[in-house]
Structure formats: C-alpha cells, structure tokens
C-alpha cells in the first residue's frame, strides 16, 4: 500500500530541470535533432516502434531523444501517445510474399528462386570498432546497383508446402484478438500470442528463444527464410467501401522450419515458427519465431516442460512496459506498509527477548 503525500513539488521541479540539462549534455556539443536520430539510429527507432507497438518513425525518434536513449522509456512514451489517438480500423493482413526485398536469406536452401540477397547487414562485418566513424565528414562508400532489380519471390515455406512437407497454416476466420482492447486470457490463441511476441521485450524474447536452442523445449530450428523489406498497407475506409493503399512500411519476417514427428491425424512434416516485426529487426523476428514454435507445443501434442513453452510464463512477462511499471513502482512511497512491517518485526523480536529471559529465569 502507498499513500499520497503532499510536498516535494520544489524538489521534483528541480529534478526535472536537471533532467532537461542532462538530456542536453554539454552545450558546447551540437544538439541532436530528431531527424538525425531517425536517420542515423534507424535500428533503435525500429525497436521502439516494435515495442511501442506503433509505427511512426518520427515519433519513435522523438521518444528516443526525450528518453535520453532509454529505449524502454521511449517505447513507454510511444504507447502513452497512441492512447490519445482514435482508431480508424484495421488493415488487410500484410502480403509479405509481395515484399519489396532489401534482404532475403535462407539457411535451408543454397540455391532458391530469387537467391540469397544480403542487403544492408552487419553479418560478415568484423566487429572491430571503426575509428573512421569518429571523424566527421569522411567520404562514405556508395552502395553499387546491379543492372536488374531483385524481383518479388515466393516464400520458402510455400515451396515446401507445395511438396506436402510443410504443414499448412490454418487460414483462420473472424476477427483476431487484440491485446490493446481485451486483457490476456488463457489458453491464449496463436493470434494473441503473436501480437504479444511482436511487441514483447527483445531481450526477454531473445533469451527465451535461446533457451529453446539450449535444450529447454527445442525443436531443431532451421532458418527457412528471413526477409526484410517494404510492404504496402491496404485499408478499406468504410466511406469508400474498397481497399486503398495508405502507404508502405518496413518489416522483417522470419520463418523457422521445425521438425514435427506427426500425430494420429498428420504425417511427419515440418512446422513453422513465425516472426514478424516492424522495421529491420532480424534478431527480434528470429527470437519471436523460436518462441512462437515453442508455444505451439501443446497444440502439436508435444510435452510442455520448458519455460518457453509455458504460455502464462511467456505472455505475462514479455511486455517490458508492464514489467518496468511493476518493478519500478517499488520506488513509490511504501511508508505505511513499511511502518507496519517494522512494528511487526519489533513485536516479534521483543517477544523472543521476553521468552529467552523467562527461560533463563526458570
């Protein structure tokens, strides 16, 4: 229990003034613009959009600046902002098969239609600090352009599904559940689980995905495909009655291919773990796909023994904004609670002292 206490206004206002000053840093150093954050820290922007569950690059960049680079605080700011806006409706499901690819790789097929397209990746970089970046205004490399563009290519999972080796997804029907409207209920269906994981904390989902690889509920994953690129968003305004494209967004999709020993009704085949996230977030999409597959254990008739397979454990703890709220609320005054604990402890100790005195006297 915590009680409202009057006072402290002056201290709070001084603390906020100091916060502003520390955000600005040394005034001799030029101030960071929101456009600079947006353009030059695109992956931080992507993470904040994903965890803030709101696609708007400028707002995410502004939140990062305001939060002094604390990305969970920035996601919190974005989530808070979205509650001020009306919801116009829902888009048609993204057609990721028609993605304009920047990157597309498969670890299961060397030669596949469309090929291995590396895109702007950190892979194959040496992970040595590049001191050239510390010098401003140096010449940058220009990315070369091939004669022919990369075409849109079918998904790898589709190639396997055509052969009957990959379980087809249930096409589903009706409205998917929405965590922004209804609280979690268990057992949670896959639509709700995917929404939860898509906006879950990257570190938490990554650690859970990692745990499945280390033997806590593993399913021999292969990266069937990772694709990064732009997809058109289609929305049907009620006043028009037909779908229109309202723009394009960047997303990352990961299809994990996993073994499945089959069941009484289904032959042995591969199954999918799926990851889809805003922006370029490969680690996040891969981790999501691993955990999605782990959470399908129950419906695929596998033993549910590991943390990553436990719906309640995963879905209740993945949201870093809820988590930070509950952990950080411990900072709020708990004076009355603590006073009663203190009194309790003193009473117990006094009783123990009386007891031992009486025993000594006997």
Partner 1 sequence: MTDMTPDPIAERRRWMAVLARAEADEIAALLAALPPLPPHERLRAPETGLVMVRGRAGGDGGAFNLGEMTVTRCAVRIGGVVGHAYVAGRDKRQAELAAALDAALQDPARRAALMDGVIAPLDARQQAARDAEARRAAATKVEFLAMQTTR
Cα 249 to Cα 152: distance, rounded to the nearest angstrom:
16
For 232, the 3-state DSSP assignment is strand
Among residues 2, 18, 58, 335, which is the contact residue for partner 1, using CB under 8 A? 58
Contact 217, 297 (CB under 8 A): yes
Cα 256 to Cα 293: distance, rounded to the nearest angstrom:
8
For 268, the 3-state DSSP assignment is coil
Q: What is the dihedral of CA 282, 284, 289, 292, to 10 degrees?
A: -170
Distance of CA 66 to the CA centre of its chain: 21
Number of residues that bind partner 1 (CB under 8 A): 86
Does the footprint of partner 1 cover residue 148 (CB under 8 A)? yes
- Which residue stretch of 67-75, 110-118, 200-208, 320-328 sits at the interface with partner 1 (rule: CB under 8 A)? 110-118
Among residues 41, 48, 159, 192, which is the contact residue for partner 1, using CB under 8 A? 192
Residues 272-331 contacting partner 1, CB under 8 A: 272, 274, 276-278
- Which residue stretch of 12-20, 145-153, 262-270, 337-345 sits at the interface with partner 1 (rule: CB under 8 A)? 145-153
Does the footprint of partner 1 cover residue 155 (CB under 8 A)? yes
Q: Which residues contact 317 (CB under 8 A, 6 or more apart)?
A: 204, 323
Does the footprint of partner 1 cover residue 50 (CB under 8 A)? yes
CB of 127 to partner 1, least distance (A): 19
- Which residue stretch of 13-21, 32-40, 146-154, 208-216 sits at the interface with partner 1 (rule: CB under 8 A)? 146-154
Does the footprint of partner 1 cover residue 238 (CB under 8 A)? no
Cα 215 to Cα 355: distance, rounded to the nearest angstrom:
53
- Which residue stretch of 11-19, 63-71, 214-222, 251-259 sits at the interface with partner 1 (rule: CB under 8 A)? 251-259
Among residues 11, 134, 240, 361, which is the contact residue for partner 1, using CB under 8 A? 240
- Which residue stretch of 85-93, 132-140, 209-217, 348-356 sits at the interface with partner 1 (rule: CB under 8 A)? 85-93
Pick the closest to residue 101 from 231, 288, 224 (CA basis): 231
Q: Return the number of the residue (246 or 298) whose C-beta is nearest partner 1.
A: 246
Contact 64, 44 (CB under 8 A): yes
């Amino acid at each position: 229990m915590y009680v409202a206490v009057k006072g402290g206004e002056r201290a709070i206002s001084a603390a906020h003034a100091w916060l502003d000053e520390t955000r600005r840093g040394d005034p001799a150093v030029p101030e960071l613009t929101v456009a600079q954050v947006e353009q030059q820290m695109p992956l931080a922007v992507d993470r904040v959009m994903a965890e803030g569950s709101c696609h708007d690059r400028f707002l995410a960049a502004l939140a990062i600046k305001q939060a002094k680079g604390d990305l969970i605080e920035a996601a919190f700011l974005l989530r808070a902002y979205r509650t001020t806006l009306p919801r116009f409706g829902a888009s048609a499901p993204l057609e990721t098969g028609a993605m304009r690819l920047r990157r597309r790789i498969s670890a299961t097929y060397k030669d596949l239609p469309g090929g291995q397209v590396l895109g702007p990746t950190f892979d194959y970089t040496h992970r040595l600090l590049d001191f050239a970046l510390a010098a401003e205004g140096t010449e940058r490399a220009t990315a070369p352009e091939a004669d022919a563009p990369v075409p849109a290519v079918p998904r790898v999972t589709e190639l396997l599904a055509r052969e009957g080796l990959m379980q087809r997804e249930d096409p589903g029907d009706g409205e998917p559940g929405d965590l922004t409207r209804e609280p979690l209920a268990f057992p949670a269906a896959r639509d709700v689980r995917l929404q939860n994981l898509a906006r879950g904390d990257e570190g938490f989902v990554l650690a859970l995905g990692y745990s499945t690889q280390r033997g806590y509920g593993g399913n021999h994953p292969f990266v069937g495909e990772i694709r990064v690129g732009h997809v058109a968003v289609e929305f049907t305004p009620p006043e028009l009655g037909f779908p229109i494209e309202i723009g394009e967004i960047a997303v990352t999709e990961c299809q994990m291919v996993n073994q499945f020993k089959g069941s009484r009704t289904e032959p042995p085949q591969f199954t999918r773990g799926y990851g889809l996230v805003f922006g370029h977030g490969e680690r996040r999409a891969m981790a999501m796909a691993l955990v999605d597959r782990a959470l399908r254990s129950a419906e695929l008739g596998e033993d549910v023994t590991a943390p990553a397979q436990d719906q309640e454990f995963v879905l209740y703890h993945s949201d870093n904004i809820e988590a930070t709220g509950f952990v950080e609320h411990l900072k709020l005054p708990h004076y009355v609670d603590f006073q009663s604990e203190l009194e309790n402890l003193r009473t117990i100790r006094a009783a123990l002292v009386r007891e031992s005195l009486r025993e000594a006297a006997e």
